[in-house]
Amino acid sequence: MAPWQGAKIEVPTKFILGEKDIGYISFGTGTYIKSGGLKAIVPNLEVVAIDGHHFIHQEKAEEVTSEILSYFSNLN
């Protein structure tokens, strides 16, 4: 992994997550994301937290679809 040490992911990225996802609320993950830790590695990152759990795409399908469509419409 040495050649990629310090590398950044430069492509535009939208990260959609459930606010109650155990992976988000555990182990400091939410704090890491909120504090800008993830954005330091992925500078063109947009994080969207939706009220829901791990399978947010099933729980809130319309909201997730709307977020995905807005992502694509804003790429130009």
pTM for the whole thing?
0.85
Q: Is residue 4 part of a domain?
A: no
The domain total for the chain is 1
Q: pLDDT: is 20 or 4 the higher one?
A: 20
Name the 3-class secondary structure at 76: coil
Give residue 67's domain range.
9-73
The pLDDT, as a whole number, for residue 34 is 95
pLDDT at residue 20 is higher than 80: yes
Kindly give, in sequence order, each residue whose CB lies less than 8 Å from that of residue 35, ignoring residues fewer than 6 positions away: none
Contacts 24+ apart (CB under 8 A), 37-41: 41/8, 41/9
Q: Is residue 2 part of a domain?
A: no
Confidence of residue 52 (pLDDT cuts 50, 70, 90): very high
